[in-house]
Amino acid sequence: MKGNLSISSVAETNLGEETPALDFLGSDFYLEGVRFKVLEGADYTSRTTDKEGVALLKDRRFFETELQVLQGIGDVSRIFELGVWEGGSAALWALTKPLTRYVGIDCRSVDLPFPESLRRHPRWDAVRLHGHVSQDDRAALRRIVDEDFDGPLDLVVDDASHLYAQSMASFETLFPRLRPGGLYLIEDWAWAHRPQFQSPDAQWADQPALSNLVMRLVMLAASQFDLVTSITIRPEFVAITRGSAEIGDDFDMERLTLARGRKLALLL
């Protein structure tokens, strides 16, 4: 990471200028003068406020692992993120990468009371947020990419619904917009295999597992070596690297997956 980036605790410990080791994600921390509130567990009641700082739902290990994976893809200056929530990721990406553009969409309103320290930061000028946009609205996603970016995407982060059909629609829409060598991250892909989702009355009990998409991506990679060059599977996310094949807006994963003429069925 170039520049004077540092994360500090009360002790004002400074980190190196390369990719930051997020040493203080177990408690609140400051980055470029912006306070981040680190939340324990899925505390969706916490809010970003001008006084208290930016609410962040991801822990230290999560971001460290993502930053490690990103080191292998070269420059990251154009990021499209699905799922803004309280803006924690938007702020963190903006302050840890030399972005020309970050775009985040959410199905909720994104009119958030960000701290003044973030709003006046020069890197925040690269950020665009769009509310009331569903991740499976293919026409809206294409329009936003065409209007907000001046070139192909380097990174797409899917942290939106975590549901199979919606995530598939986003992937088929945005993966073609990645540059060759660019990365598509699908976060929290393994929720259906966690203990808290096993009972018949658990959240999303009637929904197909998002891991179905991961399995289909593996089959797609096996079928089209120049389309998907690698898939990295971590407990926190899956990272799909785009190959050099030309892909149009008619990208259809099932059509391109060679399965001996058999219908691909959902497993869970």
Where in the sequence is the domain holding 199, given as residue range(s)? 60-256
Q: Which residues are registered as beta bridge partners of 35?
A: 30
| 54-56, strands of its sheet edge to edge | 7-8, 29-31, 34-38, 54-56
Look at residue 141 and give its three-state secondary structure.
Answer: helix
Q: Is residue 252 part of a domain?
A: yes
Number of domains observed in the structure of the chain: 1
Q: Given this model, what pLDDT does residue 4 score?
A: 32
Q: Is residue 132 part of a domain?
A: yes
Q: Is residue 51 part of a domain?
A: no
From first to last of its 268 residues, the chain has per-residue pLDDT tens of 333 333 333 223 232 334 444 444 456 788 888 988 887 665 667 789 998 899 988 776 787 788 889 988 999 999 999 999 999 999 999 998 999 999 999 999 999 999 999 999 999 999 999 999 999 999 999 999 999 999 999 999 999 999 999 999 999 999 999 999 999 999 999 999 999 999 999 999 999 999 999 999 999 999 999 999 999 999 999 999 999 999 999 999 999 999 999 988 888 8
- For the stretch 172-213, pLDDT in tens is 999 999 999 999 999 999 999 999 999 999 999 999 999 999
CATH of residue 250 = 3.40.50.150
Q: Is residue 32 part of a domain?
A: no
Q: Is residue 122 part of a domain?
A: yes
Q: Is residue 209 part of a domain?
A: yes
Rounded to 5°, angle at Cα 101 from 53 and 106: 60
Nearest in space to 84 (alpha carbons), one of 56, 62, 117, 63: 56
Q: Is residue 129 part of a domain?
A: yes
What is the distance between the alpha carbons of residues 78 and 128, in angstroms, rounded to a whole number? Answer: 11
CA distances for 15 relative to 9, 22, 61, 72, 135, angstroms:
11, 9, 16, 21, 36
> To the nearest 10°, the Cα dihedral for 147, 150, 152, 155?
-80
Q: Sort strands 237-242 and 29-31 into parallel, antiparallel or unpaired.
A: unpaired
What is the distance between the alpha carbons of residues 64 and 236, in angstroms, rounded to a whole number? Answer: 11
Q: What is the pTM of this model?
A: 0.89
* Residue recorded with tokens 């690698």: 230
Q: Is residue 251 part of a domain?
A: yes
